[in-house]
Structure 1
Amino acid sequence: MKEDRVGKTRVLVFIDWYLPGYKAGGPIRSLANLIESLKEDLKFSLVTRDTDYLESSPYPDLESNKWIEQGDESFHYLSSGDLNYSTVKNLLLRGDYEVVYLNSMFSYFFSFLPLWILNGSATDIVLAPRGMLAKGALSIKPLKKRVYLYVCKLFGLVANIRFQATSEQEVHDIKAVFGSESQIMLAPNIPAAVPETNNHLDTKAVGSVKLISVARIAPEKNLLYALNVLSKVKGKVHFDIYGVVYSEEYWNSCKEVIDTIPENITVVVHDGVPQTELFELLQESHYLLMPSRSENFGHIIWESLACGCPVIISDQTPWLNLEEKNIGFDISLKSEAKFVATIESCIDMGREEYTLKSDSAYNFAKTYAANSKSIQLSRELFTQIRGNS
């Protein structure tokens, strides 16, 4: 195995959107946490777009279409005009890497083209589907995804690659699509650092609750479901929505519910929020409300718990049995009435009971981070490559 001059394995990373962007949510956070945690062991070179998710203007103060050195890492921000087959091929043919790391299942430029160009080569490839093979995710634009996966199988594009699964459920999802013989390594997402102390607000009066949603506004995040639940809730609710509109049609349906929601429910809509501002917002809210159709990891769920903010979520995420841990609620999407009853119980909750939940959420996150083997397993994902396992 070739290595750079200081003995680090070199990893060439492809991802549609990356820092300083934030609007693509979880995948950016997953990769940023991984690079920060492993930069002493691995040398990363990263290729991405020069715009944020759903934006057309390039990042200010960043040069496009050239390698930028930041410490021991290198970044190449591609403009829309330079995002093509020839550019991707030239970046791959440089050959100054041991592993190619792809961070999407369905990205044409940042997954399909690298797989196509490197097909049949001896290059070690790691692909992180980022939850895109989950049943709920595959139900969004299913025909297009079925055709894409068929082409991948037909030409053997994933026959000799290693998949990164971040949960046992994702192991199952990958096997369900590509077969039980797929090469899969379980390497959970590396969580963000937990604050040193629980600085969550300690005011919770009986009769009201402050909820927050931080997610892109798209069908899989299920904001419309949350709004329909709230329209049936008795009691005073303040609901802050932070997110980038991915589907205008879906957002219009949400706005129709907001426009007719009962007066006891106050809904305030905000733009998306960068990571640097997120913890403060979570610390000022009583509960995260996010009944997602599916989550690969659910960074916002983890970050909410780390801020001492319990969660009200669906049972379609890795975060389960929350009520018995006293850190929130995971509820079946088939039981809208239970969502309603749960929120009403949170409205009726007093300060003492709520503070216990907040402390439990924070302590759970702290213990989880301390016991996580995600850094070790992520390191092995790149160092135990073909011929070196």
Structure 2
Amino acid sequence: MNIFMSADWFYPAQMGGPSNAIYWQAKAMTRAGHRVTVVAASQDLPDSVTLDRWLTMDCGRVIYTRNPHFYLPIKHIWYGISAIWQADVAHINSLFYPSSWVLVVVAKLLQKRIIWAPHGELSPAALAYRPRLKRFLLSLFRRLSHRVVFHATSSDETVHIRQHIGSRAIVREIANRMEMPLLTIRNARPYILFVGRLHPIKAIDSLLEALSDSTVFRRSDYTLVIAGPDSGGYKAHLVQLIQQLDLSQKVVIRGLVRSPEKEQLYADAHVLVLPSHSENFGNVVIEALAQGTPVITSTGTPWQLLEMEQAGSWVSNQPDCLRAAIERFLQMPTETYQLYRNRALKLARDRYDIFKNTDQWEQFYQEAL
């Protein structure tokens, strides 16, 4: 099978979970013997990455395009069109990136089967940014949706797609999966961890307020480590808030952290907290679980499974609720905490290994054909 995939951000870029999720999926399909072609933009890449040249990688044939502007992706569109000609399936990632609309139209004209993945862009929290423009674009997308299969990573995202694209939209659910990292030797450290881009949708302010109100946290040796790239200058707001809450001695902002340092950061943490207002999935949850680290995440994410499997907590991201959940883990008996770590590790590695579940994607593409 010849599969074309478009991506605005793509590994080794680390601006959000989709950059890795798309890469792992492409790598799994390549390993299964399919021909995968990826056309990606060049945002947030290391200087060592070659641009405007086809590269043979473990995830297939990839080109990172140098465009006049991120939102003027001329080369991205050009190379995308050339790749679609040869494809059996066109898998378009992102709704609102400009090249996505063009490539969907081209794929329809060429009578290709189309998979379109929003990656959380239709959640209420995400649609709150530039709402007028997005409402206009969604009216156009509804006209393009005929014979398009939308990919949702959770039941919540399925609801969002049908709410905004139409009740008759064809939606298939497959949860994100990842290439499992090597299990890192743990050196337990007294810190709580947040990993993700620094953006208002992540509700890091709620986490800071929760910790500010926690006597248990303030009197303990624990700190909060925030790791992730800045988005739109939001880091400056967080620094100011940390000072206002008198947490300067208890919070460290690390910036973007890459592997293998990232895996060590997960492994050594006492608990990961993801308080987002909305997540279509949340790859950082699997990344933490894969190192045996329990996760506290908000009900704005599709991770109620953490409660069911006793591998973490799924709570409201109101500061009082976050505070109670964090204090529970900070005060948890050692034996109970170790059981949480054991269950976290098993959950990630049994259920979310992309190479153990490649057949789901193969079936997805075959059904589209």
Structures share a fold, TM > 0.5? Answer: yes
Q: Which runs of 5+ in 1 are unaligned?
A: 1-8, 53-57, 204-208
What is residue 113 of structure 1 aligned with on the other side? Answer: 102
Could you tell me which of 111, 122, 147 is aligned with 1:122? Answer: 111
What is residue 176 of structure 1 aligned with on the other side? Answer: 163
Give the 3 Å change call, closer, same or farther, for CA 364–86 of structure 1 in structure 2.
closer
Deviation at 1:287, TM superposition (A): 0.5
Could you tell me which of 36, 39, 44 is aligned with 1:47? Answer: 39
Q: Distance in 2 between the 1:71 and 1:316 partners?
A: 34
2:86 counterpart SS class: coil
Deviation at 1:324, TM superposition (A): 4.9
What is residue 266 of structure 1 aligned with on the other side? Answer: 250
CA radius of gyration, larger in:
1
Could you tell me which of 228, 233, 238 is aligned with 2:214? Answer: 233
- Residue-pair matches, total: 361
Instruction: Supply the AA of the counterpart residue of 1:329.
Output: S
Give the 3 Å change call, closer, same or farther, for CA 72–368 of structure 1 in structure 2.
closer
Deviation at 1:227, TM superposition (A): 0.8
Deviation at 1:78, TM superposition (A): 0.8
Instruction: Supply the AA of the counterpart residue of 1:341.
Output: A
Contact 2:29 2:36 in 1 (8 A): no
Instruction: Supply the AA of the counterpart residue of 2:255.
Output: D
Could you tell me which of 12, 15, 31 is aligned with 2:7? Answer: 15
Q: Distance in 2 between the 1:60 and 1:239 partners?
A: 30
1:227 counterpart SS class: helix
Which digits, 9 at most, give the CA deviation of each residue in 1:26-82, with x for residues without a partner? 101111111221112321111112331xxxxx6434432232233682111111239
Contact 2:294 2:311 in 1 (8 A): yes
Say yes or no: does 1:104 pair with 2:89.
no
Q: Distance in 2 between the 1:86 and 1:347 partners?
A: 50
What is residue 30 of structure 1 aligned with on the other side? Answer: 21
Could you tell me which of 316, 327, 331 is aligned with 2:315? Answer: 331
Q: Distance in 2 between the 1:72 and 1:329 partners?
A: 34
Instruction: Supply the AA of the counterpart residue of 1:349.
Output: M
Could you tell me which of 176, 186, 203 is aligned with 2:173? Answer: 186
Q: Distance in 1 between the 2:204 and 2:119 partners?
A: 21
Could you tell me which of 148, 152, 158 is aligned with 1:161? Answer: 148
Q: Distance in 1 between the 2:56 and 2:257 partners?
A: 27
Say yes or no: does 1:288 pair with 2:272.
yes
2:140 counterpart SS class: helix
Contact 2:12 2:20 in 1 (8 A): no
Contact 1:45 1:75 in 2 (8 A): yes
Say yes or no: does 1:69 pair with 2:56.
yes
Q: Distance in 2 between the 1:371 and 1:90 partners?
A: 27
Instruction: Supply the AA of the counterpart residue of 1:115.
Output: V
1:80 counterpart SS class: coil
Instruction: Supply the AA of the counterpart residue of 2:63.
Output: H
Q: Which runs of 5+ in 2 are unaligned?
A: none
1:81 counterpart SS class: coil
Deviation at 1:225, TM superposition (A): 1.2
Could you tell me which of 345, 350, 359 is aligned with 2:328? Answer: 345
Deviation at 1:121, TM superposition (A): 3.8
Contact 1:188 1:377 in 2 (8 A): no
Q: Calculate the TM-score normalised by the size of structure 2.
A: 0.89
Say yes or no: does 1:242 pair with 2:227.
yes
The percentage of aligned residue pairs carrying the same residue is 24
Runs of 4+ off more than 4 Å: 82-87, 370-374
Considering only aligned residues, what root-mean-square deviation do their CA atoms show, in Å? Answer: 2.6
Give the 3 Å change call, closer, same or farther, for CA 161–355 of structure 1 in structure 2.
same
2:260 counterpart SS class: helix
Say yes or no: does 1:312 pair with 2:304.
no
Deviation at 1:189, TM superposition (A): 1.5
Deviation at 1:331, TM superposition (A): 0.6
Could you tell me which of 211, 214, 224 is aligned with 2:195? Answer: 214
Give the 3 Å change call, closer, same or farther, for CA 260–382 of structure 1 in structure 2.
same
Contact 2:27 2:60 in 1 (8 A): no
Q: Distance in 1 between the 2:59 and 2:349 partners?
A: 29
Contact 1:115 1:158 in 2 (8 A): no
Instruction: Supply the AA of the counterpart residue of 2:208.
Output: L
Give the 3 Å change call, closer, same or farther, for CA 321–60 of structure 1 in structure 2.
closer
Q: Distance in 1 between the 2:247 and 2:79 partners?
A: 58
Q: Distance in 1 between the 2:179 and 2:210 partners?
A: 30
Q: Distance in 1 between the 2:334 and 2:49 partners?
A: 47
Could you tell me which of 350, 355, 358 is aligned with 1:375? Answer: 358
